[in-house]
Structure 1
């Protein structure tokens, strides 16, 4: 997500001793864990009418988070920028070969394989949210709901692959990548670290998410239902 990631070739040219450096800013880390929460919550509540409001609220939150991440991928810190970690097919294939040899190339930020998963998840998250909105507003028929469910299942599959990649990468690189996404810190050269965690941006991001949840809950209809079913039940109640 920053300018240049450290590869074996770069490391061999750099005689600076490795140290604990800040790689992931706080907005990136907060985005990551909020996305984990939102996707898990939406998937687990997908079949429940009782939890429909939670399902839709988390789905819309996920879309808002993706929009933020797309913007932060342009103006954010070094390792947050797409220009730092999105690479072409040649780099992806080279990294895959190094993984198969058991000696993967090292990148301070996201590696090329991880970048593929990240981009795929961002695109799928937007598609899942859009198709979900169409489903709950009964737009274009049942095929939209089928696409919504299919996209969510594909997204779950990519999440599983991503988790497997994190586990394998942590083992091969001998570094805890999950802990790095919590603390924001990894091992690298002093020059490779970012200067600021951007806590203010993360705080504003969290306030926006919590504020949206509060507004959703304040406007919730009785029973927690939303959309066409809520209108139908409200109409039936009025008729009674």
Structure 2
């Protein structure tokens, strides 16, 4: 058993899932004030995860799991031949899935800041752009969510494949520990990330939440 995921990475993983579901539900049923609160919390998590990707635990850093296209190609071939080695953190394919998900979630959050339905809802930065730009970003905000869903489905299918190969990825994302891998602990104290999250959320509340 090797400690692979720190508490913030695990908290971000599951919180992002729950908050995305919350964003969908509140938008689907017209609870737009709650939609903004949930989105604001997700934005705080997302911003801190980006920072933690540069200064966090070894396995949390982008430099640890974002591999070159050649490395991804080699790993894919090994995976097809059932010869893929166990990885301490994200495997090369999984690393790029993390990046893709963070990009589309970031795009969703960024476009939402400028979105407006011109009647009941207006993002905190909608007044900073023209009506045409806000309309285009609103359309992007709606359509981009489909990409999040599709990437989420691919992610779940990939996890199922690895589970079928005997890798207990889901329990590892709860406990932070993985079996069948060798190496030093990939975890360092994550309290700075949680502190940054609180400070980031409070900053967003003063800037955005206080107007809701």
TM-score by length of 1: 0.73
Contact 2:40 2:201 in 1 (8 A): no
Q: CA deviation at 1:104?
A: 2.4
Q: CA deviation at 1:41?
A: 0.9
Structure 2 residue corresponding to 1:175, chosen from 158, 164, 167: 167
Q: CA deviation at 1:206?
A: 6.1
* 1:151 is the counterpart of 2:144: yes
Q: Against the structure 1 CA distance between its residues 79 and 175, is the aligned structure 2 distance closer, same or farther, given a 3 Å change threshold?
A: same
Counterpart of 1:26? Answer: 7
CA distance in 2, matches of 1:122, 1:203: 19
CA distance in 2, matches of 1:74, 1:58: 25
Q: Deviations over 1:128-163 (max 9, x none)?
A: 111112113354243222111111110111111111
CA distance in 1, matches of 2:204, 2:172: 28
Q: Deviations over 1:153-190 (max 9, x none)?
A: 10111111111111111221x1210110110001222x
Counterpart of 1:46? Answer: 27
Structure 2 unpaired stretches of 5+: 117-121
CA distance in 2, matches of 1:39, 1:53: 15
How many pairs does the alignment contain? 198
- 133-142 or 55-64, larger mean C-alpha shift: 133-142
- 3-state DSSP class of the match of 1:121? helix
Structure 2 residue corresponding to 1:201, chosen from 188, 192, 201: 192
Structure 1 residue corresponding to 2:113, chosen from 133, 142, 155: 133
CA distance in 2, matches of 1:178, 1:35: 15
Q: Deviations over 1:172-213 (max 9, x none)?
A: 1x1210110110001222x422354x2523543564587689
Contact 2:6 2:187 in 1 (8 A): no
Q: CA deviation at 1:65?
A: 1.5
CA distance in 2, matches of 1:200, 1:91: 33
CA distance in 2, matches of 1:195, 1:59: 28
Counterpart of 1:234? Answer: none
Structure 1 unpaired stretches of 5+: 1-19, 221-225, 227-240
Q: Alignment RMSD, CA only?
A: 2.6
Counterpart of 2:155? Answer: 162
Contact 1:61 1:209 in 2 (8 A): no
- 3-state DSSP class of the match of 2:107? helix
Counterpart of 2:42? Answer: 62
- 156-165 or 93-102, larger mean C-alpha shift: 93-102
Q: CA deviation at 1:219?
A: 4.6
